[in-house]
Structure 1
Amino acid sequence: MPEPRRRRAATEEKVTRVLNAAEEIMLLEGYAAVTSRNVAERIGLTSPLLHYYFPTIDDLFVALLRRRSERNVEWMAAALASPRPLQAWWDLASDPRGTALFIEFLAAANHRPTLKAQMGEVAREVRRMQMEVLDKILPEYDLDPHEFPPALLAATMQGLALGLVADETAGYETAHKQARAAMSRLVERLEQQRTRRL
């Protein structure tokens, strides 16, 4: 079976520029502002040339999600393998830029079935990874997996981070600073507890 053709360096550079521009537009103006015209104008391409690389906007969103999710899976694996896994996970999950982009992907996925399906695959892969690691390390934190199952802890960590960043980004005053500080204290306490046990 023949190998798929590799893109030339100039093509790769243009694709990277398109994806970078689309990501910036999503963060600054929201997913609805990601149009072929808007992205092309931002980087000095014509719309037909952009459509050569990404025939539809769905193709562009899926490529952007894949690029971001590949990085996120790598970062999550590194966080969970670090000496302070809960702390590294919390830092990653509560990163404002990454979470704000994820919120835009969620909003776009509500209107784009192809993107929604791709996001589901990524979510399942990341959650499986999180739960496998939690299953192994919960005893190190002196947490009973029956009382605090990995599914609960994974959903709590990700959900709280998502909610806090969403409120911060939107400028809502929902005591998110107090919640972030309290979660940071809890994670630090759990990490200290784990260090003493190891």
Structure 2
Amino acid sequence: MTKPRKPRGPYRKSAERREQILQAAYEAIDEHGERASLQDIADRVGVTQPALTYYFPTRDDLLLAVLERRDAMGKATAAAVSTEHTMIDGMVASARHTTDHPGLAKLYVTLSAAATDPASPAYDHFRNRYRTLADEVTRDFATQQRLGEMRDDAPAEHLARALLAVLDGLQIQWMHDPTVDIATIAETFTRLLTGPGATTSGARAEPPTG
């Protein structure tokens, strides 16, 4: 089987420079949030501000690329834990990844709020992000329902959307009050889905009596 060729010459250098800029932006925003300046990012890489626009034509392009990297790293963190442990462990790890990177969390909340306006440059990014995440979690939950590992008295899609809403809501509460332990609360919520209240083999939970 022929191995894919790696970019060579100027194409490889261009890809490397783009990666350097993206990583510098990720680190600057992690430290300073959306207040991180393009000049700071350019200085970290050793290029001029105009040079940044060759790789990221607008500030919004760069910020969205940083959010995509944040999502990818958060998923990788959760997946690594879930492989060895459980979905709950993965969700807790993802929540802790959020609190470990407050500047990136603030950028996410700020842009996601602005993206509710269809005219926002981030509108398509967040709409597609939520659709993709909801589909992925729904498929995972549906599988767990079939295996009897998750409550099945509600559609998997509804449970998936509820989980995403809880995680986003906890993130906002934590930004207002850093004492909110979003990882522990996320664990509490996921246990409501997979703990003693879970039903199996299509059985429906009966309401409590007395």
Give the TM-score of the pair, scaled to structure 1: 0.69
Q: Which residue of structure 1 lines up, in the alignment, with residue 141 of structure 2?
A: 134
The answer to whether structure 1 residue 28 and structure 2 residue 34 are counterparts is no
The answer to whether structure 1 residue 163 and structure 2 residue 163 are counterparts is no
Out of 73-82 and 60-69, give the one that drifted further: 73-82
Structure 1 pair 79/149, CA: closer, same or farther in 2 (3 Å)? farther
Distance 1:154 1:99 in 2: 24
Q: Which residue of structure 1 lines up, in the alignment, with residue 160 of structure 2?
A: 154
Q: 1:87 aligns with which of 89, 93, 102?
A: 89
Distance 2:58 2:192 in 1: 48
RMSD: 3.6
| Number of residue pairs matched by the alignment | 185
Corresponding residue SS for 1:143: coil
The residue type paired with residue 124 of structure 2 is A
Q: 1:51 aligns with which of 40, 43, 53?
A: 53
Greater RCO, 1 or 2 (C-alpha within 8 Å, sep 6+): 1
Corresponding residue SS for 1:164: helix
Query: Deviations 1:16-46 (Å, cap 9, x if unpaired)?
Result: 2211222223233222x24432321233221
Structure 1 pair 127/94, CA: closer, same or farther in 2 (3 Å)? farther
The answer to whether structure 1 residue 143 and structure 2 residue 151 are counterparts is yes
Structure 1 pair 99/134, CA: closer, same or farther in 2 (3 Å)? farther
Q: 2:184 aligns with which of 181, 184, 196?
A: 181
Q: Which has the higher helix share?
A: 1
Return the offset for 1:118. 1.4
Query: Which ranges in structure 1 are unaligned for 5 or more consecutive residues?
Result: none
Distance 1:143 1:114 in 2: 38
The residue type paired with residue 187 of structure 2 is S
CA contact (8 A) 2:78 2:94 kept: yes
Corresponding residue SS for 1:114: coil
Q: 2:110 aligns with which of 107, 122, 131?
A: 107
Give the TM-score of the pair, scaled to structure 2: 0.66
CA contact (8 A) 1:93 1:161 kept: yes
Structure 1 pair 186/130, CA: closer, same or farther in 2 (3 Å)? closer
Q: Which residue of structure 1 lines up, in the alignment, with residue 207 of structure 2?
A: none
